[in-house]
């Protein structure tokens, strides 16, 4: 079917112009909205799981990182093969400008999520992986692991691995609640612990502040954090926390399912948007500097 578009009447054109002027004015007022953060990103929560590798082969995921300005990643995967393949692709990662910081995942399969903290075979797997290392160098951390019930932070393997991390200078990436954070530090008070999502259950910012004050080696990773952005703007309570503790936070993508890979660039753009609301030196630290300092990377 052919549709003829009539030229707009003079009146319609006038209304359109008035609207355009209003929109331009609003745009001008909105110019108070800061520009997105434009520097490098350190993605401190990246999974390259077995089910991602067919729809998103290495050139695809590295391309997404490169287009997002991601210059380094904490890489971990279920099982650890995905991390090893990223670490072994040295030419491709170098070409993409991405430094791979490999972590040992505690999961061979989904069944391990609910039992790793009391399963001695997980601790033996960690020892084997640590001894082998990766093509990109030694493993630098353990995780991400999950503690859906904080009581499981008292499990014997949770204790053993926290103590191993503390003794070996490995960084731990833990998805848990605030009670479990305290329990993990009780095993190893000086371990370096990245709290995945900084409380995915929405623990109040004031409680996060209390934990940061009490545990100097605690850092918070911010993917999925409830209440971080409200009505498209960084929440004032989180802004205050970032300005008070600029060295204690990291951004992450958490590519735990393939949909997160599909929207990877969007996730990173969203992080850049709220980072742009922070003082530039604070944004730089959270976006890149803290991760780089934690693992001794140079930009
Ligand atoms: Zn995750």
| 264: helix, strand or coil | helix
93 CA to middle of ligand 1, Å?
Answer: 21
pLDDT value of position 24: 44
73 CA to middle of ligand 1, Å?
Answer: 13
203 CA to middle of ligand 1, Å?
Answer: 18
Q: Identify the DSSP state of 139.
A: -
pLDDT band at 298 (very low <50, low <70, confident <90, very high): confident
How far, in whole angstroms, is CA 181 from its chain's centroid? Answer: 18
DSSP 155-180: SHHHHHHHHHHHHHT-EEEEE--HHH
By DSSP bridging, strand 41-47 and strand 171-175 are unpaired
222 CA to middle of ligand 1, Å?
Answer: 11
Kindly state the percentage of the chain with pLDDT values over 70.
89
Check pLDDT > 80 for residue 4.
no
Neighbour-count burial of 236, counting CB atoms closer than 10 A to its CB (0-12 exposed, 13-18 middle, 19+ buried): exposed
In this structure, the number of other CB atoms found within 10 A of the CB of residue 264 comes to 23
pLDDT band at 155 (very low <50, low <70, confident <90, very high): very high
29 CA to middle of ligand 1, Å?
Answer: 38
Give the pair of three-digit tokens for residue 154. 């008292």
Which tops the pLDDT comparison, 4 or 63?
63
Instruction: Tell me which range, 10-14, 17-21, 249-253, is most confidently predicted by mean pLDDT.
Output: 249-253
Is 164 in contact with 170 (CB distance < 8 Å)? yes
Kindly list the protein residues that place their beta carbon closer than 5 angstroms to ligand 1, a single-atom ion.
144, 254, 256
| 131: helix, strand or coil | helix
Is 138 in contact with 101 (CB distance < 8 Å)? no
- Which residues, in sequence order, are CB contacts of 36 under 8 Å at separation 6+? 269, 272, 273, 275, 276
pTM of model > 0.85:
yes
Residues 175-191 have pLDDT tens digits of 999 999 999 999 999 99
pLDDT value of position 31: 52
- E-only strand ranges, the chain: 41-47, 70-76, 99-104, 141-146, 171-175, 192-195, 218-221, 229-230, 233-234, 249-250
End-to-end alpha-carbon separation of the chain, Å? 57
CA pair distance 203, 109, nearest whole angstrom: 29
């Amino acid at each position: 079917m052919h549709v003829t578009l009539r030229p707009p009447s003079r009146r319609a054109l006038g209304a359109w112009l008035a609207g355009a002027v209003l929109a331009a004015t609003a745009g001008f007022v909105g110019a108070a909205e800061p520009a997105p953060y434009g520097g490098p990103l350190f993605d401190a929560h990246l999974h390259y799981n077995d089910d991602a590798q067919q729809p998103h082969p290495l050139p695809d995921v590295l391309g997404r990182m490169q287009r997002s300005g991601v210059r380094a990643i904490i890489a971990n995967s279920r099982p650890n093969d995905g991390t090893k393949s990223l670490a072994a692709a040295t030419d491709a990662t170098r070409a993409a400008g991405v430094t791979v910081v490999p972590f040992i995942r505690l999961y061979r399969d989904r069944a391990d999520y609910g039992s790793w903290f009391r399963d001695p075979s997980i601790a033996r797997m960690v020892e084997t992986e640590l001894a082998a290392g990766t093509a990109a160098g030694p493993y630098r951390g353990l995780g991400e692991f999950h503690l859906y019930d904080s009581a499981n932070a008292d499990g014997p393997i949770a204790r053993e691995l926290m103590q191993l991390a503390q003794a070996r200078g490995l960084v731990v990436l833990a998805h848990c609640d605030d009670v479990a954070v305290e329990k993990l530090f009780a095993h190893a008070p000086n371990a370096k612990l990245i709290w995945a999502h900084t409380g995915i259950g929405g623990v109040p910012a004031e409680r996060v502040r209390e934990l940061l004050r009490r545990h100097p080696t605690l850092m918070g990773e911010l993917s999925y954090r409830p209440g971080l952005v409200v009505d498209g703007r960084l929440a004032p309570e989180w802004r205050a926390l970032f300005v008070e503790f600029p060295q204690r936070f990291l951004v992450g993508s958490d590519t735990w399912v393939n949909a997160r890979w599909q929207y990877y660039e969007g996730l990173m753009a969203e992080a850049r948007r709220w980072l742009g609301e922070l003082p530039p030196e604070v944004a730089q630290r959270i976006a890149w500097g803290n991760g780089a300092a934690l693992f001794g990377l140079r930009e």
